[in-house]
Amino acid sequence: FESKPRAREPLRHTELPSAGIMVKIVAKPQAMKAKKVQTVLATKKAPTGPRTKKLQNYSERGSGLKFALETYEAVSRFTPQTKIKYGPNLKSKGSKSFDRYAKYMKATTVAEALKLGTKPADLLWEYERGNYQVVGGPQSSTPNCCQGKTSDKTGAEKVLSSFRGPSGFSLKMDPEKRLMCAKLAAEFGYDLDTLHQQADETGNNESADIQMQRTLANALAEKTLKEVAKARRKVSDADVVEVLKVWGFARNETRLNVLPQGQIWVHSDTLGPLRMRHGGFRITDPTLAYASFTKLLCKWFTDHQPDDIACKCVFTGINVNANYAGRIHRDGNNEGPSAIKAVGKFTG
């Protein structure tokens, strides 16, 4: 967490509400490359407009093909040599699925089943219903989609790499974080399909994983702020850590001065204004799209302002960094001191 103080000659300013106070965000001449990010729609209202019917029909069409996280976890770890044993054909006689099942039910491995006509969705559907059992053979310790590039794979390996989990809960996510997000989504009443329909409607370019994590982190921050206000207490480090555990960090390739040796990106997000290439300023979209997250960090800082900053500190930006040891560097366009604090479990 890094708060950046006010410039001597501000070019533009805006007001950002914090919990119980107003924190003035004053843009300073900080030359920093910023990506164009579109605003996230993080509400649960039904989408409107000319594409609503199409999106609703799509959801209805796929309503019978939603699978549990545990199913994705299991099937995503199959290898072509995983041994399986199919049960009797319980499909409707005369249907295409009955005829297909009659062919691949003879398979003894996942590779044979795929070769004989089973589809990726069949492996998920029939696993949940017990139409086949895993009876032996090797299985991966991690999901196949996490092992190398799918484009470099062929045959059954490529098919198995297509299992990435439900929208918003990709198998590439840390398993512990994925389960934590699933629990929070249920607690706050978020429906994944509706949320991603809304994102599609607004043209949001955040990935499904990032959007879901940030939306849930924002909801948790809002809940925390209410609890803090009710108890009339300060925002604690523990409060912030719990929210940051959920926050979805995008890959940032623009912070060249902090990149550790051998890395081309880091997890680093900026809240507040950035100076654009044309010389103007803009407030990064996450600042306002996830306003409760921003408010929580602002109140945390003002609740624990360092003693050596005697005056009221008015800052222009916050950098939130995760899981990397930045190179020793000096920010060339900062004005005044930077307040930096590390939280969570780490070494170094």
Q: Both tokens of residue 316?
A: 């222009």
Average pLDDT, integer, range 37-66: 36
Tell me, what amino acid is at 271? Answer: L
Give residues with Cβ within 8 angstroms of 57, minimum separation 6.
none
Residue 129 to residue 125: CA distance in whole angstroms: 7
Q: Are strands 83-86 and 132-136 parallel, antiparallel or unpaired?
A: antiparallel
CA atoms within 13 A on the CB side of 286: 28
**Model pLDDT for residues 269-314, shown as the tens digit of each residue:** 989 988 776 778 889 889 999 999 999 999 999 898 877 777 777 7
pLDDT at 150: 62
Quickly state the pLDDT bin for 109 (edges 50, 70, 90): very high
Q: Do 188 and 43 form a contact (C-beta atoms < 8 A)?
A: no
- Complete DSSP assignment for 213-263: HHHHHHHHHHHHHHHHHHHT-PPPHHHHHHHHHH--PPEE---TTTPPTT-
Quickly state the pLDDT bin for 193 (edges 50, 70, 90): low
Average pLDDT, integer, range 52-59: 34
Q: Are strands 132-136 and 2-5 parallel, antiparallel or unpaired?
A: unpaired
Task: Select the highest-mean-pLDDT range: 35-49, 68-82, 230-244, 278-292.
Answer: 230-244
pLDDT at 95: 93
Taking residue 214's Cβ as centre, other Cβ atoms within 10 Å add up to 23
Residue 62 has pLDDT above 90, yes or no: no
Average pLDDT, integer, range 335-341: 77
pLDDT at 53: 31
pLDDT at 134: 95
CA distances from 15 to 12, 20, 36, 80, 293 (A): 11, 13, 22, 57, 16
Of 117-126, 167-176, 257-266, the one with minimum mean pLDDT is 167-176
User: Whole-number mean pLDDT of the chain?
Assistant: 76
Average pLDDT, integer, range 20-44: 32
Of 58-67, 151-160, 215-224, the one with minimum mean pLDDT is 58-67
Average pLDDT, integer, range 187-192: 83
Locate all alpha helices (DSSP H) within 76-207, ordered by sequence: 96-104, 110-115, 120-128, 155-160, 175-188, 192-202
- Complete DSSP assignment for 287-338: HHHTHHHHHHHHHHHHHT--TT--SPP-EEEEEEEES--PPS---TT--S--
Residue 51 has pLDDT above 50, yes or no: no
Q: Both tokens of residue 279?
A: 């010389």
**Is the pTM of the predicted complex or chain greater than 0.75?**
no
Residue 31 has pLDDT above 70, yes or no: no
pLDDT at 223: 97
**Model pLDDT for residues 306-329, shown as the tens digit of each residue:** 777 777 777 888 989 888 888 887
Average pLDDT, integer, range 209-231: 93
